[in-house]
Amino acid sequence: MKKAALHNLGCKVNAYETEAMGQLLRENGYELVPFSEKADVYVINTCSVTVVADKKSRQMIHRARKLNPDAVVVAAGCYVQTAREQAMADEAIDILIGNNKKHELVEALRAFEERRSQSKRWMDITDISQETDYEELRLDKTAEHTRAFLKVQDGCNQFCSYCIIPYARGRVRSRDLSEVMAEVERLAGNGYREVVLTGIHLSSYGVDNGESLLSLVQRVHEVEGIKRIRLGSLEPKIVTEEFARELAGLPKVCPHFHLSLQSGCDATLKRMNRKYTCEEYKRGCELLRKYFEHPALTTDVIVGFPGETEEEFEATRAFLKDIAFFEVHIFKYSKRRGTRAAAMPNQVSEDVKNVRSDILFEDTGKLSYDFAAWYAGKKVEVLLEEETVVEGRSCMVGHTPEYVKAVLPGKKNNANQMVLAQAETVLSDHSLLLKQNSTENID
């Protein structure tokens, strides 16, 4: 039996596709082994969101070649798609597979083996902007044993000035509702309690097939066995009165909303070609807080975008405090060749980016603590996930519906169980320490 190893770089969509390719390989007789081991086939699902991601993709390709010089090395995904010429010139790669072609992995391996003696590579990198069909990949199980990420959409039509993804992933393509439902039912049948709906631009689900993200969530909510539905990153303007009200009426929907922000300054947002204002963003947050008691609002912020003045940065800083996010993922702007922002004047120095990033990191750490501290003394619902050791004690770790990490001392071998427990205090990593003898099984 041939051995195959896979390595994923990048987002949750990439992670889903990597696991789906692994399932394809298993179904076709391959044994999956860790990437660090010697294998007959190495598959690297690459990322191209930043220059650093490109570099990491190349490093993993070359690492695979060193692990076994005789192996077949497959490079798939966004780096291959956006840096086609560079990838084609890389002699470490035997098979190149662009986006929307990952379902062809097994066919590509067979074709390559047939002409390997002729030293001919296999390649399928088409113009992604011309793709109109959703690439159907599927999963029955995932690496996580309690939570399953489920890809329902691909592509993006937004063309933010800093982002290469529309060129790597193409235009919006939505997964057929019947295919989504079939996969949710398979996952539920295999014991998964929580599904996370993900996509490159999840808010656009259905714009090309007459569906909507809200209607999709409503259908998934009907599946027996699924206890929680979590949403991936959303665009702020999707949060209307109807959207918030309808979601709040679905008990399985987790009150955890990642609304992409990028900047808390309207002038910066305009240069970024984001499609909302700070006021519109704030209105969405207010609606979620109107319909959910204590929703976790999380976001992304880019510091040091071209032209960002000290005043613009301070506006972002004040906006983050005003919204009072649970978590903020902070990124220093990285110039990405092929995007409009790369050619913009007034590029911000790395030293200034570092200072601003550190300031926001400190500010938002306090916000995270305050959000978690709200639960002290309250009963919380936790989906237990894995056993670990915290401060020298054997514990189970899980998450609340708001995705606050929770630590339950003294329990063992009860992963994938839903419990109700009292939160005692907040630990240094902003997780909740649960009272040991306060648990109640609520399955």
- Mind listing the pLDDT tens digit for each residue in 23-64? 999 999 999 999 999 999 999 999 999 999 999 999 999 999
Tens digits of residue pLDDT in 378-425: 999 999 999 988 878 889 999 999 999 999 998 677 889 999 999 999
Distance (Å, rounded) from C-alpha 260 to C-alpha 111? Answer: 42
Of 424, 440, 421, give the one whose Cα is nearest residue 432.
Answer: 424
Quickly state the pLDDT bin for 166 (edges 50, 70, 90).
Answer: very high
State residue 121's pLDDT score: 77
N-term to C-term CA, the chain: 41
Q: Which residues pair with 77 in a beta bridge?
A: 46
State residue 265's pLDDT score: 98
What percent of the chain is modeled with pLDDT above 90? 89
The answer on pLDDT for 442 being more than 90 is no
The answer on pLDDT for 430 being more than 80 is yes
State residue 414's pLDDT score: 82
The answer on pLDDT for 114 being more than 80 is yes
Name the residue with tokens 């003898």.
437
DSSP state of 176: P
Name the residue with tokens 């993006």.
156
Q: Rounded mean pLDDT of the chain?
A: 95
State residue 119's pLDDT score: 66
Residue 230: how many CB atoms within 10 A of its CB?
A: 22
The answer on pLDDT for 342 being more than 80 is yes
The answer on pLDDT for 443 being more than 80 is no
Domain at 379-441: CATH architecture:
Beta Barrel (2.40)
Tell which wins on pLDDT, 146 or 289.
289
Report residue 280: phi and psi, to 5°.
-65, -40
Task: Read off the amino acid at residue 400.
Answer: T
The answer on pLDDT for 127 being more than 90 is no
> Could you give the C-alpha distances from 231 to 4, 288, 298, 381, 383, in angstroms and in order?
31, 14, 12, 18, 16
Pairing of strands 95-97, 393-399: unpaired
Q: Identify the CATH homologous superfamily for domain 147-373.
A: tm_1862 like domain (3.80.30.20)
What residues does each domain of the chain span?
3-126, 147-373, 379-441
Tens digits of residue pLDDT in 172-205: 999 999 999 999 999 999 999 999 999 999 999 9
Average pLDDT of the segment spanning 80-93: 94
Lowest mean pLDDT among 74-78, 301-305, 393-397: 393-397
Distance (Å, rounded) from C-alpha 303 to C-alpha 235? Answer: 19
State residue 411's pLDDT score: 67
Tens digits of residue pLDDT in 222-251: 999 999 999 999 999 999 999 999 999 999
The answer on pLDDT for 276 being more than 70 is yes
Average pLDDT of the segment spanning 335-354: 96
Distance (Å, rounded) from C-alpha 184 to C-alpha 138? Answer: 10
Helices (H), 190-300: 213-220, 241-248, 266-272, 278-291
The answer for 192, left when phi > 0, alpha when psi is -120 to 50, beta otherwise, is: beta
- CATH fold, domain 3-126, is Rossmann fold (3.40.50)
Average pLDDT of the segment spanning 66-73: 96
Distance (Å, rounded) from C-alpha 281 to C-alpha 260? Answer: 9
Of 274, 278, 233, 276, give the one whose Cα is nearest residue 257.
Answer: 233
State residue 391's pLDDT score: 76
